Amino acid sequence: MNATDPVEQTRPQQADRHRWRVLGICLVAGFMTLLDVSIVNVALPSIQLGLNAPATALAWVVSGYALTFGLVLVPAGRLGDDRGRGRMFLLALALFTAASALCGFAPEPLWLVVARLLQGAAGGMLSPQVLGLMQQLFHGRDRGRAFGLFGAVVGISTAIGPLLGGLIIQLAGAEDGWRWVFFVNLPIGAAAILYGLRVLPRDVPADRASSLDLAGVLLLGGGLLCLLLPLIEQESRRGTPWYLLAVAAVLLALFVVWEHLYQARGRAPLVNLRLLTIRSYSFGAGLALLYFAGFTGIFFVLAVYFQRGLGYSALLAGLALTPFAVGSAVSSALSGRIVHRLGRRLVIIGLVAALAGLMATDLLLAAHPGPAVGWVTALPLLVAGAGSGLVISPNQTVSLSEIDPGYGGIAAGVQQTGQRIGSAVGTAAASGLFFGTLSEHGFDAAIASGLLVSVGFVAASLLVAVAEALVRRHTT
């Protein structure tokens, strides 16, 4: 089709005209997939009551979603770049909605575990399409605003999950309330699919080779499986096959070698390793991995502390975490308007605020504030949340700023895979220290120790951001 074809000329105009509508559906999809990471945690007692589920099944209801989500991110990002993000978006959203229905109708534990594995895979297919579409449709200041709104969704969905889950279970009842945690996705998903058919831009196939690097998929998938599985098993407090970490190192090294050889033959590899030579992207990916290791661990240890240590209901525990969500939502939306001026400096400001809020929370909890702990920690969690909102979306914006939009899906997939690895590492480390301290010194000492993990990872991400600023100053 030649350059003067009227259909080709109308495609960019159509995409531009509908881009804010497309952003709306992207935010809805992102909210659904991220919410299901945290909302199910508070539903576990209800699942155990309703299905008489054993502890092993409950562990896999949580960890299976995270595992399959992380495994498919990179291949799904590549398929979206090559075969069309709109098509992949609708397919993944339909699978996610169907899997949510399967979860809600589960008659026994094994059915629920399998449905959660499918739901996680669908979420992992959907996520890189969301960021790829945003990268494709938005530029300059508008891209910063778009990623700012997405950052608000990340913060809200992660922090509000326990609150929303507790509210649903309280309204629907303890025995069957868990089903409605999944059923809530059905009307939202159906409406989003119908709306997406109207507003998503038409797919234009990529010019480069479209054959999928199957050997690369297998090597990367096997490496990630061996890396994530021991970390997820650590969360379940069962025997952990740590030898798989050595297998993961071998498989991932073979993956890098294979990708070099595959590209040298003139083929399109699963991951274009040249992406990692772009300084803003490589530093941003490393920063995100470390920050998510700290960011995710916060909610795990605080949720356990509020409910098991203080006897809070799921709803009250969610309310105690709400200040973080509020601070994150507000600052994320505002950050999109100024990130184009401040760049990574805004991320450094956010990391300092998040670190200060977390350290204050840790110190206050170590002082044994008693039953009023939810009120005592409200202000420092608000500060930490506000700082977090200045980190996630601005870092995403800066990291992808030099990436060709044609590689937006795979770049987002690689970065999000790092975030999933960081989340698994952070949660495993925080839970390990929390439960190890709990057995000897009680809940007050355990929460203080568990939060130290989050403080350490956030401090490490701050060092990465400062290191990039120094390198940039030295080279300019």
pLDDT for 2: 38
Residue 135, CB-side half-sphere exposure with 13 Å CA sphere? 29
How much is the pLDDT for 211? Answer: 66
**Quick one: which of 20, 412, 400, 3 has its CA closest to 201?**
20
pLDDT tens track, the chain, 476 positions: 333 333 333 444 454 567 888 999 999 998 998 888 778 877 888 898 889 988 778 878 877 888 888 889 889 888 888 888 889 999 999 999 999 999 999 999 999 999 999 999 999 999 999 988 988 888 878 888 888 888 888 777 876 777 788 788 888 887 888 999 999 999 999 999 999 998 888 766 555 545 678 888 899 889 888 888 887 766 555 556 778 889 999 999 999 999 889 888 878 788 888 888 888 899 999 999 999 888 877 877 887 788 788 888 767 877 888 898 889 888 988 888 888 888 889 999 999 999 999 999 988 887 776 667 888 889 999 999 999 989 988 898 888 888 887 777 788 888 888 888 888 888 878 888 888 888 787 888 888 888 888 999 999 999 999 998 888 887 76
Amino acid 16: pLDDT: 58
**71 SS3 class:** helix
Q: What is the pLDDT of residue 236?
A: 53
Tokens encoding 438: 């709990």
Structure tokens at 34: 């991220």
**191 token code pair:** 């409406």
pLDDT of 356 reads: 96
| Four-residue CA torsion sign, 130, 78, 458, 282 | negative
CA distance 217 to 426: 26
Provide the pLDDT for residue 290: 93
Buried b (16+ CB within 10 A) or exposed e, 207-227: eeeeeebebbbebbbbbbbbb
Tokens of 243: 């030898």
The two counts, helices (H) then strands (E), for the chain are 18, 0
The per-residue pLDDT for 191 is 94
Task: Tell me which residue of 190, 159, 216, 217 sits closest to 384, measured CA to CA.
Answer: 159
Contact 223/106 with Cβ under 8 angstroms? Answer: no
The pLDDT score that the predictor gives to residue 238 is 55
Alpha-carbon distance of 291 to 455, in angstroms, equals 10
Residue 283 to residue 87: CA distance in whole angstroms: 31
